[in-house]
């Protein structure tokens, strides 16, 4: 097949794969698809010490690539991908993550997103700790890192299909000279949807030996797939050499093996009686969230639904194929990555095709399912498949559709504006039609393609919608759509979503149960401490190449006897051991938090440099804080009335509904302001959310260009 | 009355068990720790463990997920 394929090589860079030492290749790869320049950049000891790897390396490279006024579609914007020093370990589960950063088309600041799949580790084992891709190509190109041939190329391959599920099969056939080579190929791609939308995701591939097919995990948040296609890149590809379990050449292999064996035993013992990740993946969360009033339903108006049982973990356990290894990364026994095989598509350009649908994951089920009022599993699978192959973020797409559904139900949209679609909650056929329109760049799909923030502006400017109402109901902060947890009754989670660097993705802090259910962080100071520790802890996974799930989704019950069960101390110690054993750099939990603080504060300053990253950008929409509509209040009237009595000493029986809603709004928004003050103080920031010079010096990231950004902002505040 | 998680007051009645509270509150997540006045209750004993009046009941969900 290889001989028949047209491959125009536009640029070529020969190289020799260096030996990986203690988790690092000690060089990064720069590729400019506009100019054809390809070069290696050395990784300094200071870079490793202060930025660790993964997102830290991404941000450091991106900082030096862009200007203060760089936009997402500027040629100098980059897509940067790195795994981290522990990425590629096969002895500890969840050690194959890749971190992507870029200037986002939806938030217009730095977005970061992580994915499994094989790209990041294979890139490192092919000699590169990170890849940064800059420029805009004239025509569609591939960037191919070929460790077998010892070269990096930029190539035009005009026969390559666009949509990921076709592109993957095609490209693996083109590049693999022998079938077994497919196991060591990985690609990053988007699809036709990303070409016509700001919501583009990146698909990270893995080759599934059992299925003999290519599967995908997604780095989706903030539109990195849109940036990829705007650069006219169809795929970033690695063709690696076969490797062994010690490919990182760690400082202490025995220590890694010992810790790895412990966690493998724990997973084997407890997963089947806890969350059953190995059987149903993250879908186990659906029923729990609905039971605790935390499952977004109908654009986050409600938190539960009787039909949640139709799409819960028990259902998906019967639907996803059992007994196959998950393959997200070698050696991961959490094995949460499932798939539905032989699913026959009912709509769209691939109608009638039988396909593999990866997932569905909890976030996807919530976003394209419950928050759109859709509880039909087949519709969810169809939407999931098309979002993936079109290169569209399911979370952002679902939020945008649910926002438009609510606009339709309150009369902002009508059938004339929707092109005849009855866009009510629960109309799965309408959601699918809009998704196909989006991929073609047509009709209502063009509005859905904007994401919630820009769709808000559109309905205000074109349809005369009430700006306050639209702002209240559209579930975005900073321009990023919310992930799938209802935070109305958890002040800490409201902060966990909006007091973030990139926007409301729960990978920084997930505090709902600690706060709302367990009442373990009752004071503002408690919440601020949690909103310091957990974002820093969780940030660290993305510096090293780790997945978060093995930290807290399977836990030995004896953890409950520990001093701080929510932190899962014995798993924290595992990570201390693994990092120390890989890098030879002996650390403790305090140093882990410090590593994250450096990168976290650097990202905050980066956002300020780009003109945002301040207090004014950290406010949630009121739908995420309290009841916007009378319908919402009435759905929880008993709870809200009781809160008026207990919190505010008011008599709800003597108040109108409007008065009660106003009292809640005043109280809840005032508490959020107090939370902001407490969190900023704990993080070492000013009341405007700016890291202080003292904080940056203490962290050792007081580089002149970093201080210049902060000092300029602080002078303006004075 | 009993106090749940240091925040909520619930009606007490004779024969009230841990399992009754979990059902009343729709606490369906299986990975929890229940304590009554500081004493941890075994999972297997929820159905027969009686809660005394004015008890301090804690139901801590060991989920840090998402």
CATH code, domain carrying B41: 3.10.20.30
Contacts of B6 in chain A (CB under 8 A): 519, 522
Give contacts of A483 with chain B, Cβ < 8 Å: 66
Counted across chains A and B, CB pairs separated by less than 8 A come out at 61
- pLDDT above 90: residue A243: yes
Neighbours of A142 (CB within 10 A): 25
Q: In this structure, is residue B41 part of a structural domain?
A: yes
- Expressed as residue numbers, the domain containing B53 is 2-61
What is residue A470's predicted lDDT score, i.e. its pLDDT? 98
- pLDDT at position A137, please? 98
* Low-confidence winner among A171-175, A346-350, A563-567, B13-17 (lowest mean pLDDT): A563-567
Which residue in A306, A486, A517, A569 has the most chain B C-beta atoms within 10 A of its own C-beta, making it the best mutation to test that interface?
A517
Find residue A215's DSSP bridge partners.
A206
Which pLDDT score is estimated for B65?
Answer: 65
Chain B residue closest to A567 (CA)?
B64
Does pLDDT of A496 surpass 60?
A: yes
| Residue A422, Cβ density class (10 Å: 0-12 exposed, 13-18 middle, ≥19 buried) | exposed
A31: enclosing H helix or E strand = strand A27-32
Shortest Cα distance, chain B CAs vs residue A377, angstroms: 21
- Helix, strand, coil share (%) of chain A residues, nearest 5: 50, 15, 40
Which of B26, B27, B62 comes nearest A560 by C-beta?
B62
B63 and chain A in contact, CB less than 8 A? yes
**Which residues have C-beta within 8 Å of that of residue A116, sequence separation ≥ 6?**
A96, A97, A98, A204, A206, A217, A328, A329, A337, A547
Report CA-CA distances (Å) from A440 to A88, A228, A315, A396, A613.
38, 18, 33, 18, 34
Q: If you average pLDDT over residues A556-579, what whole number do you get? A: 89
Q: What is the pLDDT of residues A500-523, one digit of tens each?
A: 999 999 888 899 999 999 999 999
Q: List the structure tokens of A165.
A: 């599920």
Cβ within 8 Å of residue A364, ≥6 positions away: A380, A384, A387, A394, A395, A398
Nearest to B61 among A485, A518, A522 (CB): A518
**What is the nearest CA distance from B31 to chain A, expressed in angstroms?**
7
Q: Do B63 and A288 touch (CB under 8 A)?
A: yes
A149, A153, A157, A163 alpha-carbon torsion, rounded to 10°: 100
Which of A518, A551, A558, A565 best tests the B interface by mutation, with the highest count of B CBs <10 A? A518
Q: Which residue has the higher pLDDT, A566 or A28?
A: A28
Residues of B in contact with A645 (CB under 8 A): none
Q: How far does B19 lie from chain A, in Å, by closest CA?
A: 16
* Among the listed residues A379, A357, A354, A355, the one whose alpha carbon sits nearest the alpha carbon of residue A368: A379
Q: Do A519 and B5 touch (CB under 8 A)?
A: yes
- Touching check for B61 and chain A: CB below 8 Å? yes
Q: What is the mean pLDDT of chain A?
A: 96
- Closest partner residue to A513 (CB to CB) among B28, B40, B61 is B61
Q: Which residues of B touch A485 (CB under 8 A)?
A: 66
Nearest CA in chain A to B59: A518
pLDDT (tens digit per residue) in A310-335:
999 999 999 999 988 788 999 999 99
DSSP sequence for A680-698: HHHHTB-TTSPBPHHHHHH
Q: For residue B25, is it within any domain?
A: yes
CB B61 to CB A483 under 8 A? Answer: no
B23 interfacial to chain A (CB closer than 8 Å): no
Helix (H) or strand (E) holding A396, with range, is helix A394-409
pLDDT band for A525, please (50, 70, 90 cuts): very high
B28·A288 Cβ contact <8 A: yes
The string of DSSP letters for A574-600 reads HHHHHHHHHHS----HHHHHHHHHHHH
Q: Tell me which residue in B33, B61, B65 faces A517 most closely, judged by beta carbons.
A: B61
> What is the tens place of the pLDDT at every residue in A196-206?
999 999 999 99
Q: Does B56 touch chain A (CB under 8 A)?
A: no
**Predicted local confidence at residue A558, as pLDDT:** 83
Binary contact (B28, A287; C-beta < 8 A): yes
- Three-state SS string over A139-199 comes to CCEEEEEECCCCEEEEEECCCCCCCHHHHHHHHHHHHCCCHHHHHHEEEEECCHHHHCCCC
Rounded Cα–Cα distance for residues A459 and A528 (Å):
36
Q: How far apart are CA A3 and CA A556, in angstroms?
A: 54
Each residue of A396-425: pLDDT tens digit?
Answer: 999 999 999 999 999 999 999 999 999 999
The whole-angstrom distance between B28's CA and the closest CA on chain A is 7
Spatial contact of A84 and A123, defined as CB atoms under 8 Å apart:
no
Q: What tokens appear for A576 in the block? A: 């201390």
Describe the crossing of helices A55-65 and A589-609 by its angle, rounded to 10 degrees. Answer: 30
User: CB–CB of B60 and A553 under 8 A?
Assistant: no
Q: All domains of chain A, ordered by start, with CATH?
A: 2-239 (3.60.9.10), 275-481 (1.10.569.10)
How many percent of chain A have pLDDT more than 70?
A: 100
> How far does B60 lie from chain A, in Å, by closest CA?
5
Q: Given a cut of 80, is residue A540 above it in pLDDT?
A: yes
Locate A107 and state its tokens.
């938030």
Check whether A577 has a pLDDT greater than 50.
yes
CA B25 to chain A, closest CA, distance in angstroms equals: 9
Q: What is the chain A residue with the closest CA to B8?
A: A519
Nearest CA in chain B to A553: B65
| Beta carbons of A519 and B59 less than 8 Å apart | no
Pick from A38-42, A356-360, A560-564, A594-598: least confident: A560-564
Asked whether residue B7 is domain-assigned, the answer is yes
Question: Residue A249 is encoded by which pair of tokens?
Answer: 């050449």
- Distance, in Å, from the CA atom of A143 to the CA atom of A137, rounded to the nearest integer, reads 11
Confidence of residue A709 (pLDDT cuts 50, 70, 90): very high
Token pair recorded at residue A410: 């309150």
Interface contact flag, A291 B28, Cβ < 8 Å: yes
Residues A333 and A91: their CA atoms lie apart, in Å, by 10
- Given a contact cutoff of 8 angstroms between Cβ atoms, the answer to whether A115 and A204 are in contact is yes
Q: For chain B, how many structural domains are there in total? A: 1
Q: How many angstroms separate the CA of residue A314 from the nearest CA in chain B?
A: 14
**What is the per-residue pLDDT for A675?**
98
For residue A612, what pLDDT band results from cuts at 50, 70 and 90? very high
How far apart, in whole angstroms, are the C-alpha atoms of residue A208 and residue A330? 11
Q: If we measure between CA atoms, which residue out of A145, A170, A169, A143 comes closest to residue A156?
A: A143
* Mutation site for B-interface testing, chosen from A519, A521, A533 by largest number of B Cβ within 10 Å: A519
Q: Which residue of B has its CA nearest to A304?
A: B26
Ranking A41-45, A190-194, A568-572, A670-674 by mean pLDDT, the lowest is: A568-572
DSSP SS3 for A355: strand
Residue B33, chain A, CB below 8 Å: the answer is: yes
Nearest Cβ partner of A552 from B26, B28, B65? B65
Residue B66 resides in a domain: no
Q: In chain B, which residue's Cα lies nearest the Cα of A363? A: B66
Measured between alpha carbons, how far is A544 from A99 in angstroms, rounded to an integer? 9
Residue-wise pLDDT for A72-125, tens only, equals 999 999 999 999 999 999 999 999 999 999 999 999 999 999 999 999 999 999
Amino acid A71: pLDDT: 98
Compare CB distances from A518 to B5, B26, B30 and report the shortest one's residue. B5
* Number of other residues whose CB lies within 10 A of the CB of residue A309: 13
Rounded to an integer, the average pLDDT of A245-263 is 97
When pLDDT is cut at 50, 70 and 90, the band that residue A566 belongs to is confident
pLDDT of residue A275: 87
Q: How far apart are CA A648 and CA A660, in angstroms?
A: 11
What's the pLDDT at A326?
82
CA dist A544 and A680 (Å) reads 26
Q: Phi/psi class of residue A649: alpha, beta or left (left: φ > 0; alpha: ψ in -120 to 50)? A: left
For A406, half-sphere exposure in the C-beta direction (CA atoms, 13 angstrom radius) is 29
Most A CBs within 10 Å, among B8, B28, B66, to test the A interface: B66
Residue A268 has φ and ψ, to the nearest 5°, of -60, -35
- The answer as to whether B27 is a domain residue is yes
Q: What are the structure tokens assigned to A39, written together?
A: 């070069």
Burial of B9 (0-12, 13-18, 19+ CB in 10 A): exposed
Asked whether residue A2 carries a pLDDT value surpassing 70, the answer given is no
Residue B26 touches partner A, C-beta closer than 8 Å: yes
Short-list A604, A644, A613, A615, CA closest to A627: A644
Which residue of chain A is at minimal alpha-carbon distance from B30? A274
From chain A, pick out residues whose CB is under 8 angstroms from the CB of B65. Answer: 285, 510, 513, 552-553
Could you tell me the two tokens for A193? Answer: 């949807």
Residues A229/A195, Cβ–Cβ less than 8 Å: yes
Instruction: Render the burial of A56-73: b for 16+ CB within 10 Å, e for the rest.
Output: bbbbbbbbebbeeebebe
Both structure tokens of A291:
């039971």
pLDDT at A239: 98
Phi, psi of A208 (to 5 degrees): -95, 105
Please say whether the beta carbons of A709 and A609 come within 8 A.
yes
Residue A432 to residue A434: CA distance in whole angstroms: 5
Instruction: Tell me the C-alpha distance between A86 and A41, whole Å.
Output: 20
Picking from A283, A284, A288 by the largest number of B CB atoms within 10 A of its own CB, the best residue to mutate is: A288
Q: Report chain B residues whose CB lies below 8 A from the CB of A361.
A: none
Q: Is the residue at B43 inside a domain?
A: yes
- Nearest CA distance, A269 vs chain B (angstrom): 14
Tell me the shortest Cα–Cα distance from A135 to chain B, in angstroms. Answer: 35
Pair type for strands B56-61 and A78-82: unpaired
How far away is chain B from the Cα of A31, in angstroms, using its nearest Cα?
Answer: 35
pLDDT of amino acid A3: 55
CB-based contact A52:A60 (threshold 8 Å): no
Kindly tell me if the per-residue pLDDT of A456 is higher than 60.
yes
Chain B residues with CB inside 8 Å of A285's CB? 65-66
Asked, for residue B32, whether it belongs to a domain, the answer is yes
Q: What is the Rg, in whole angstroms, of the alpha carbon atoms belonging to chain B? A: 11
Q: Is the pLDDT of residue A288 over 50?
A: yes
Position A64 pLDDT exceeds 80: yes
């Amino acid at each position: 097949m290889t001989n028949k394929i047209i491959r125009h090589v536009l640029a070529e860079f020969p190289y020799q794969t260096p030996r990986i030492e203690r988790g690092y290749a000690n060089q990064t790869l720069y590729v400019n698809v506009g100019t054809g320049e390809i070069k290696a950049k050395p990784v300094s000891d200071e870079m490793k010490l202060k930025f660790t790897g993964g997102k830290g390396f991404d941000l450091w490279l991106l900082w030096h690539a862009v200007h203060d006024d760089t936009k997402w579609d500027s040629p100098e914007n980059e897509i940067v991908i790195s795994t981290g020093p522990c990425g590629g370990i096969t002895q500890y589960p969840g050690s194959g993550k890749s971190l992507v950063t870029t200037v986002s088309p939806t938030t217009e600041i730095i977005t970061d997103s992580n994915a499994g799949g094989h790209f990041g580790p294979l890139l490192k084992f092919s000699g590169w700790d990170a890849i940064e891709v800059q420029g805009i190509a004239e025509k569609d190109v591939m960037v191919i890192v070929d460790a077998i041939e010892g070269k990096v190329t930029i190539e035009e391959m005009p026969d390559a299909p666009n949509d990921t599920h076709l592109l993957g099969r095609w490209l693996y056939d083109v590049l693999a000279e022998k079938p077994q080579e497919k196991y060591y190929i990985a690609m990053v791609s988007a699809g036709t949807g990303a070409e016509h939308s700001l919501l583009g995701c990146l698909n990270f591939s893995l080759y599934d030996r059992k299925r003999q097919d290519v599967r995908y995990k997604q780095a989706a948040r903030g539109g990195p797939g849109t940036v990829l296609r705007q650069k006219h890149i169809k795929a970033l590809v690695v063709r690696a050499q076969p490797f062994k379990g010690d490919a990182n050449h760690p400082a202490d292999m025995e220590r890694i093996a010992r810790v790895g064996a412990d966690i493998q035993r724990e997973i084997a013992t407890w997963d089947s009686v806890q969350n059953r990740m190995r059987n149903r993946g993250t879908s186990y969360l659906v029923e729990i969230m609905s039971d605790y009033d935390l499952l977004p339903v109908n654009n986050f108006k409600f938190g539960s639904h009787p039909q949640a049982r139709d799409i819960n973990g028990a259902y998906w356990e019967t639907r996803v194929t059992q007994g196959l290894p998950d393959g997200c990364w070698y050696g991961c026994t959490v094995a949460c990555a499932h798939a539905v095989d032989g699913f026959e598509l009912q709509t769209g350009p691939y109608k009638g095709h039988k396909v593999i649908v990866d997932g569905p994951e909890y976030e996807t089920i919530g976003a394209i399912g419950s928050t759109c009022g859709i509880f039909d599993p087949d519709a969810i699978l169809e939407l999931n498949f098309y979002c993936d192959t079109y290169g569209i973020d399911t979370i952002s797409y679902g939020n945008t559709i649910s926002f438009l559904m609510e606009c339709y139900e309150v009369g902002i949209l009508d059938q004339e504006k929707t092109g005849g679609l009855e866009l009510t909650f629960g109309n799965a056929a309408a959601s699918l039609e809009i998704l196909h329109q989006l991929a073609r760049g047509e009709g209502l799909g063009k509005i859905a393609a904007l994401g919630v923030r820009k769709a808000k502006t559109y309905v205000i400017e074109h349809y005369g919608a009430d700006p306050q109402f639209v702002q209240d109901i559209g579930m975005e902060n900073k321009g990023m759509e919310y992930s799938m947890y209802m935070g109305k009754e958890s002040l800490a989670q409201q902060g966990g979503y909006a007091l973030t660097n990139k926007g409301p993705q729960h990978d920084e802090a997930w505090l709902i149960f600690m706060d709302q259910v367990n009442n373990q962080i009752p004071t503002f100071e408690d919440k601020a401490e949690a909103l310091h520790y957990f974002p820093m802890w969780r940030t660290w996974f993305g510096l090293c190449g780790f997945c978060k799930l093995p930290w807290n989704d399977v836990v030995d019950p004896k953890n409950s006897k520990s001093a701080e069960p929510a932190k899962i101390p014995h798993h924290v110690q595992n990570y201390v051991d693994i990092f120390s054993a890989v890098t030879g750099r002996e650390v403790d939990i305090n140093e882990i938090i410090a590593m994250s603080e450096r990168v976290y504060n650097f990202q905050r300053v980066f956002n300020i440099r780009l003109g945002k990253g301040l207090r004014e950008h950290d406010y949630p929409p009121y739908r995420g804080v309290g009841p916007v509509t009378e319908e919402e209040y009435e759905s929880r009237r008993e709870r809200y009335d009781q809160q008026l009595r207990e919190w505010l000493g008011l008599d709800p029986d003597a108040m109108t509904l409007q008065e009660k809603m106003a009292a809640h709004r005043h109280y809840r928004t005032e508490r959020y302001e107090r939370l902001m003050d407490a969190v900023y103080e704990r993080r070492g920031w000013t009341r405007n959310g700016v890291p202080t010079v003292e904080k940056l010096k203490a962290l050792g990231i007081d580089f002149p260009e970093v201080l210049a950004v902060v000092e300029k902002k602080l002078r303006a505040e004075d | 009355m009993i106090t749940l998680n240091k925040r909520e007051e619930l009606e007490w009645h004779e024969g009230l068990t841990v399992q009754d509270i979990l059902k009343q509150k729709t606490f369906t997540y299986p990975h929890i720790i229940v304590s009554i006045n500081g004493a941890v209750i075994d999972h297997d004993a929820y159905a027969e463990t009686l809660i005394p009046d004015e008890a301090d009941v804690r139901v801590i969900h060991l989920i840090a997920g998402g």
